[in-house]
Structure 1
Amino acid sequence: MSPTASAVSPPRIIYGAVLGSPYAARLLGGTLIGRLPNGMAPVAIVLWTLAAGRSIALGGLLSALYGLASVLSQPVKGRLMDRYGQRAVHLPAAVLNSSLLITLPLAAPHGGPALATAIVVAAGLTAPPLEAGLRALWPSVLPDLRLRHAALALDTGTQGLLYIVGPLLAAALASTYSPAAALAITAALGLAGTLVVATAPPSRNRRPTPTTSSAGTARRLASPQLASLFVALAGVGCAIGALNVLAVAMSDAHGQQMLSGLLPAAFSASSFLGGLVYGRRTWPGSTTRQLVFGSAAFLTGWLPLLALHNPYAATAAVALPGAFLTVVVACAYVTTDALTPTGRTSEAYAWLICSIGVGQAAGTALAGRLADHALALAALPAAGAAFALTVLLLTRPDQGAVRRDRHRCRHA
């Protein structure tokens, strides 16, 4: 290749270089294993509830409470990691979470729905904040900005696979053994993955970064730009949450149960592949422009669902917004890092995760109310994406801050 061509073409990233960096594969693999309960526990809880002779309504409620408690507690756990270090948070959280999941089938039958609810909520509250912790470690593990860019895309893209593998694994374990065994293995995987991460030197040795002024830091973390970014990401979460209900409604309308899992699986698989493509090279334009472009493409991808009535055409169509989900989320993490003061990154990442999770819960709830109105239900994912894009266009993050972050990382 000529020097001219080399100068014009953005450099490609080899994922082997990312995974070959010290501790990168260990941290990513441990986080994925430790976060499998996020995909397994909700299904295992529903299946255990049914096996115990309770209603599916109770099972659905317990499952939703587990996910909501986990999401809402993220900022608190992120703040604790910034203040006391990752190991001091990850290990106690993993032990408590695993113990509670194992306790559920043993204790709940003696206390009825009230005790089951208390155990499930406590288990969700103590889920280890591995995702936010991993994102906070990438700068120290991968000082090279291009490798970190690829790692973030790979990390973000693989998260969707948890919600394909997790439910399938939980269902298979419950069918082969029992729902109680599925909960026990879920607990074991969560504890094992957390141990892999927490005992790795980058996580074990991470120390809190002193801040100059706690009051000033608190104001900075709650800046309008950062808050608007989190509000926009709630719209992205709304689209994802609505998709799950849309898939169930479509499977019911066409009498094909497999569609309820096929649409989310196609969306998640496309997100993974889109992340691999995005992380393979350095793209032109600032992070802000990539974020806005990705959000616009994410919105455009949902529009065909308004006209598609064939379930398999709809399954193919959701691959387009799925392909741009990783672009949006990865750029949002980079922007969050640029706008967050030193010593508060874990908490900021946790707020980002929380905003998407709350948006998902809202999208699922709204979609449930619209389940009998096919056109409105099909339009809800696009509405969530449109909300996200509108907020980003009205309150663009400071491009200068992002550029300063890039400059700082390049000379780190």
Structure 2
Amino acid sequence: MSLTAPPAPRISYGAVLGTPYVARLLGGTLAGRLPNAMAPVAIVLWATATGGSIAFGGLLSALYGLASSLAQPVMGRLMDRYGQTSVHLPAAVLNSVLLAVLPVAGPYGGPTTATVIVLAAGLTTPALEVGLRALWPTVLPNPRLRHAALALDTGMQGLLYVLGPLLVAALAFSYNPPLALAVTAALGLAGTVTVACAPPSRSWRPPQSADSDTKRGRRLLCRGLVRLFVSLTGVGFAVGAMNVWSIAMAEQHGQDLLSGVIPAAFSMGSFVGGLLYGRRTWSGTTTGRLIAAPAGFLVGWLPLLTLLSPCAATAAVVVPGAFLTVVVACAFVTADVLAPAGRTSEAYAWLILSIGAGQSTGTALAGHLAEHPLASAALPAAGAAFALTALMAGRGHFSGSGPTLQPAR
């Protein structure tokens, strides 16, 4: 008589979303993080509409992204001490007020006032992504459901950069950039309140153990994590450069909506790529995919060097977008394994900081090179090449890291 165990029941994305609070937390996080995708574009469009240059708008956008990224580890540490709700809500209120005030106060105070407001808005960006990743073990104690949620969560991040730039472009060109900033502020506040007032977020506290004090004292940034974070700055650089390059393409060809359509096409590729990645089991280790995915990310940018037409460029950016989610998903899994016990939230925050810092650098440099079509088009590939080179150089420190994401069927 065979004692073979019956196969495990299949896990579907529907089962994940049907679990209490999952849809609310995921939807609220996506809405609350829309300013991450909308504000950089809205700030550039507002700056140019008020007589500023693309270079100045790119600088403001870069400062917002950099400040937002720098604030993430601090927000993560505060959440560990005071909980999520008491950190999320004040940050969201301040962030939304500052974004709404920018078009009112900015013109009267000049570039200095605008810079201070943008910097303060970035520093008060709620750490919703870090908070959501910390909530999954509580909301989804089943590891298979949790792995499927991670794949879904990572894949859906691409929606932010599909809806965000398109919404900003539509509001800015149909009405005006100040309205785009006001809507950005309102969506961010509404999404954060949805998450922060949910019972799992209100009651969340970091896991404690008998040796928690010792674990908290361990050094977070081991050699493997440092190499991982450095490499991810190249990924962020490519994305930041692409956002400004799309605005330059719009001005060059006299097609305003390109500033939203090109980033949206890139992000749609990221969304679809993430869903496809999460639906199947992959052979090999996470480390192998952490090297292979950036290679595809780099190859996808190379056609831009031929100075494609607007339609061809929009289609071309779908390819690197499809690899972006795989890179980020594998990076989160690797960070989870390499980080000391009890400090994974901090590791997630530093990972987000690394991508954001690279994105800000790419945005600023692309703003200065916007009038040079070939140089501007080459920047995303340069960032991807740096990321791949750094990962290959440090692959020995990632060896054996991370389980394979379980597929959702």
Distance (whole Å) between structure 2 residues aligned to residue 358 and residue 273 of structure 1: 25
* Residue equivalent to 1:29: 27
* Residue equivalent to 2:187: 189
Aligned CA distance change for structure 1 residues 90 and 373 (closer, same or farther; 3 Å)? same
Distance (whole Å) between structure 2 residues aligned to residue 114 and residue 251 of structure 1: 28
Structure 1, 146-155 or 304-313: larger mean CA deviation: 304-313
Question: Which residue, 87, 90, 94 being the options, matches 1:89?
Answer: 87
Aligned CA distance change for structure 1 residues 406 and 157 (closer, same or farther; 3 Å)? closer
Offset, 1:78? 1.5
Aligned CA distance change for structure 1 residues 367 and 215 (closer, same or farther; 3 Å)? farther
Offset, 1:373? 5.2
1:257-292 CA-partner distances (Å, limit 9, x unpaired): 444433322211111001111111222222212222
8 Å Cα contact 1:11/1:281 also seen in 2: no
Alignment partner of 2:219: what SS? helix
Distance (whole Å) between structure 1 residues aligned to residue 41 and residue 309 of structure 2: 28
8 Å Cα contact 2:46/2:178 also seen in 1: yes
Alignment partner of 2:402: what SS? helix
* Residue equivalent to 1:354: 353
5+ residue gaps in structure 1?
408-412
Distance (whole Å) between structure 1 residues aligned to residue 241 and residue 40 of structure 2: 17
Alignment partner of 1:335: what SS? helix
- Name the aligned partner's letter for residue 18 of structure 1: V
Aligned CA distance change for structure 1 residues 328 and 109 (closer, same or farther; 3 Å)? closer
* Residue equivalent to 1:65: 63
Offset, 1:124? 1.3
1:362-403 CA-partner distances (Å, limit 9, x unpaired): 223344455565554444323322222222222224444535
Distance (whole Å) between structure 1 residues aligned to residue 202 and residue 30 of structure 2: 18
Offset, 1:320? 1.7
Q: How high is the sequence identity, in percent, across the aligned residues? A: 68
* RMSD over aligned Cα atoms: 3.1
Distance (whole Å) between structure 2 residues aligned to residue 352 and residue 132 of structure 1: 10
- Name the aligned partner's letter for residue 402 of structure 2: V
Offset, 1:255? 5.0
TM-score normalised by L of structure 2:
0.85
Distance (whole Å) between structure 1 residues aligned to residue 354 and residue 70 of structure 2: 9
- Name the aligned partner's letter for residue 52 of structure 2: S
Alignment partner of 1:391: what SS? helix
Give the paired residue count: 399
Offset, 1:254? 4.7
Distance (whole Å) between structure 1 residues aligned to residue 338 and residue 357 of structure 2: 21
The answer as to 2:312 corresponding to 1:294 is: no
Offset, 1:145? 3.3
The answer as to 2:365 corresponding to 1:344 is: no
Written as runs of structure 1 = structure 2, the 5 A alignment for 1:200-219 is 200-210=198-208, 212=211, 217=216, 219=218
Alignment partner of 1:380: what SS? helix
* Residue equivalent to 2:402: 402
Offset, 1:346? 2.0
Aligned CA distance change for structure 1 residues 324 and 147 (closer, same or farther; 3 Å)? farther
Distance (whole Å) between structure 2 residues aligned to residue 184 and residue 143 of structure 1: 38
Alignment partner of 1:167: what SS? helix
8 Å Cα contact 2:155/2:273 also seen in 1: yes
Distance (whole Å) between structure 2 residues aligned to residue 223 and residue 287 of structure 1: 18
- Name the aligned partner's letter for residue 320 of structure 2: P
5+ residue gaps in structure 2?
none
8 Å Cα contact 2:33/2:191 also seen in 1: yes
- Name the aligned partner's letter for residue 266 of structure 2: F
* Residue equivalent to 2:52: 55
Aligned CA distance change for structure 1 residues 387 and 195 (closer, same or farther; 3 Å)? same
Alignment partner of 1:221: what SS? coil
Distance (whole Å) between structure 2 residues aligned to residue 294 and residue 219 of structure 1: 31
* Residue equivalent to 2:73: 75
* Residue equivalent to 2:232: 233
8 Å Cα contact 1:146/1:282 also seen in 2: no
* Residue equivalent to 1:335: 334
Distance (whole Å) between structure 2 residues aligned to residue 336 and residue 75 of structure 1: 14
8 Å Cα contact 1:13/1:279 also seen in 2: no
Offset, 1:171? 4.2
Aligned CA distance change for structure 1 residues 343 and 64 (closer, same or farther; 3 Å)? same
Aligned CA distance change for structure 1 residues 62 and 401 (closer, same or farther; 3 Å)? closer
Distance (whole Å) between structure 1 residues aligned to residue 301 and residue 42 of structure 2: 31
* Residue equivalent to 1:15: 13
* Residue equivalent to 1:385: 384
Distance (whole Å) between structure 1 residues aligned to residue 341 and residue 33 of structure 2: 26
Aligned CA distance change for structure 1 residues 89 and 152 (closer, same or farther; 3 Å)? same
Written as runs of structure 1 = structure 2, the 5 A alignment for 1:250-261 is 250-261=249-260
8 Å Cα contact 2:258/2:310 also seen in 1: yes
Aligned CA distance change for structure 1 residues 176 and 273 (closer, same or farther; 3 Å)? same
* Residue equivalent to 2:269: 270
Distance (whole Å) between structure 1 residues aligned to residue 310 and residue 169 of structure 2: 24
8 Å Cα contact 1:14/1:280 also seen in 2: no
8 Å Cα contact 1:238/1:361 also seen in 2: yes
Offset, 1:207? 0.8
Offset, 1:335? 0.9
Distance (whole Å) between structure 1 residues aligned to residue 382 and residue 9 of structure 2: 36
1:119-161 CA-partner distances (Å, limit 9, x unpaired): 2221111111111111222222223333333322322222232
* Residue equivalent to 2:115: 117
Distance (whole Å) between structure 2 residues aligned to residue 222 and residue 259 of structure 1: 40
* Residue equivalent to 2:152: 154
Alignment partner of 2:246: what SS? helix
- Name the aligned partner's letter for residue 159 of structure 2: L
- Name the aligned partner's letter for residue 207 of structure 2: T
